[in-house]
């Protein structure tokens, strides 16, 4: 398989690149390096397999189509995003860049597009609605969720009009080595950021396994990827304290605007259609993250 990975120098993207190379695939990374880093690809580059090709390019760039045509990927993995972006910039990257990539994939004859979507596509749930299934209303209140929902609509249209297959993975909070943001990274760093009462945390290696499986399964579907359970702020705090040897911090949960106070994703569809389920416990995932960061 020849895979093209947008956002391939980012946290999740670079971990996916490592996995694809380890399986013997040829990989083209497209990343403008605005938030991603070549340091995340250090191991992949050092291996000098000749199967890694890095292209520094913004997915909004009109030349993206020419690049995809030259590469002629079998599968496109779309993970490009922009941390800390304004609402307008996020919409440009997620929707405009995403549609530009989907059109390029169609024109190049790609078999499938696998997209990193988000749990923010769903209406914030009531406690009785947890864990959220894919049938939960897609009525986002978070701007990024609005953009992600729009991209799924385009993917659905391209599948109907052009028979370009897709799978959109609605990710919960992914954490692990190389992550610079999110609840786990903030807790390890001791940052005083807004956090919900509970959230759904999935380790990056587990999430990447879902991407790899989605290359050949789950076509035409939005598929939840998470742990399937709520992790409370107290549970996360205790796991970080155990991994770091520091006394646990005491703070009151306070979700940011647009973020649900509680979150858990139902992963039954992933089990059925991808043959996927997570295997890394919170304690083990946090321990691996702390060890990699030297915290």
Q: Which CATH superfamily is domain 2-177+203-229+267-282 in?
A: NAD(P)-binding Rossmann-like Domain (3.40.50.720)
Q: What is residue 253's predicted lDDT score, i.e. its pLDDT? A: 58
Q: What is residue 194's predicted lDDT score, i.e. its pLDDT? A: 66
Q: What is residue 258's predicted lDDT score, i.e. its pLDDT? A: 59
Q: What is residue 293's predicted lDDT score, i.e. its pLDDT? A: 81
- Residue pLDDT tens, the chain, 295 long: 999 999 999 999 999 999 999 999 999 999 999 999 999 999 999 988 889 999 999 999 999 999 999 999 999 999 999 877 799 999 999 999 999 999 999 999 999 999 999 999 999 999 999 999 999 999 999 999 999 999 999 999 999 999 999 999 999 999 999 998 889 998 888 877 667 789 999 999 999 999 999 999 999 999 999 999 999 989 999 999 999 988 777 666 555 565 678 999 999 999 999 999 999 999 999 999 999 987 5
* DSSP state letters, the chain: -EEEEETTTSHHHHHHHHHHHHTT-EEEEE---SS--GGGGHHHHHT--S-EEEE---TTSTTHHHHHHHH--SEEEE----TT--HHHHHIIIIIIHHHHHHHHHHHT-SEEEEEEEGGGSPPPPGGGPSBPTTS-----SHHHHHHHHHHHHHHHHHHHH--EEEEEEE-EEESTT--SSHHHHHHHT------SEE-EEEHHHHHHHHHHHTTS-TTEEEEES-SS-EEHHHHHHHHHHHH-PPPP-----PPTTS-SS--B--HHIIIII-------HHHHHHHHHHHHT-
Q: What is residue 250's predicted lDDT score, i.e. its pLDDT? A: 67
Q: What is residue 129's predicted lDDT score, i.e. its pLDDT? A: 96
Q: What is residue 218's predicted lDDT score, i.e. its pLDDT? A: 98
Q: What is residue 261's predicted lDDT score, i.e. its pLDDT? A: 81
């Amino acid at each position: 398989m020849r895979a093209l990975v947008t956002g391939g120098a980012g946290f999740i993207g670079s971990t996916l690149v490592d996995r694809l190379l380890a399986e013997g695939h040829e990989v083209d990374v497209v990343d403008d390096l605005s938030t991603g880093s070549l340091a995340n690809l250090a191991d992949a580059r050092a291996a000098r397999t000749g199967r890694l090709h890095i292209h520094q390019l913004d997915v909004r760039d009109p030349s993206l189509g020419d690049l995809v045509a030259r590469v002629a990927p079998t599968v496109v993995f779309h993970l490009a995003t922009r941390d800390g972006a304004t609402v307008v910039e996020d919409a440009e990257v997620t929707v405009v860049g995403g549609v530009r990539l989907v059109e390029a994939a169609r024109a190049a004859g790609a078999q499938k597009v696998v997209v990193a979507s988000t749990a923010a596509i769903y209406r914030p749930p009531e406690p009785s609605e947890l864990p959220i299934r894919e049938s939960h209303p897609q009525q986002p209140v978070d701007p990024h969720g609005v953009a992600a929902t729009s991209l799924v609509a385009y993917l659905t249209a391209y599948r109907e009009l052009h028979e370009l297959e897709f799978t959109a993975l609605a990710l919960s909070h992914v954490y692990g080595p190389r992550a610079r943001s999110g609840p786990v990274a903030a807790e390890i760093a001791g940052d005083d950021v807004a956090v919900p009462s509970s959230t759904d945390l999935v380790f990056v290696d587990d999430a990447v396994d879902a991407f790899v499986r989605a290359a050949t399964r789950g076509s035409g579907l939005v598929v939840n990827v998470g742990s399937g359970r709520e992790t409370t702020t107290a549970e996360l705090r205790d796991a970080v304290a155990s991994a770091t040897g520091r006394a646990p911090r005491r703070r009151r949960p306070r979700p940011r605007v647009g973020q649900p106070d509680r979150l858990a994703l139902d992963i039954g569809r992933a089990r059925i259609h991808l043959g996927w389920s997570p295997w890394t416990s919170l304690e083990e995932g946090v321990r691996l993250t702390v060890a990699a960061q030297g915290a």
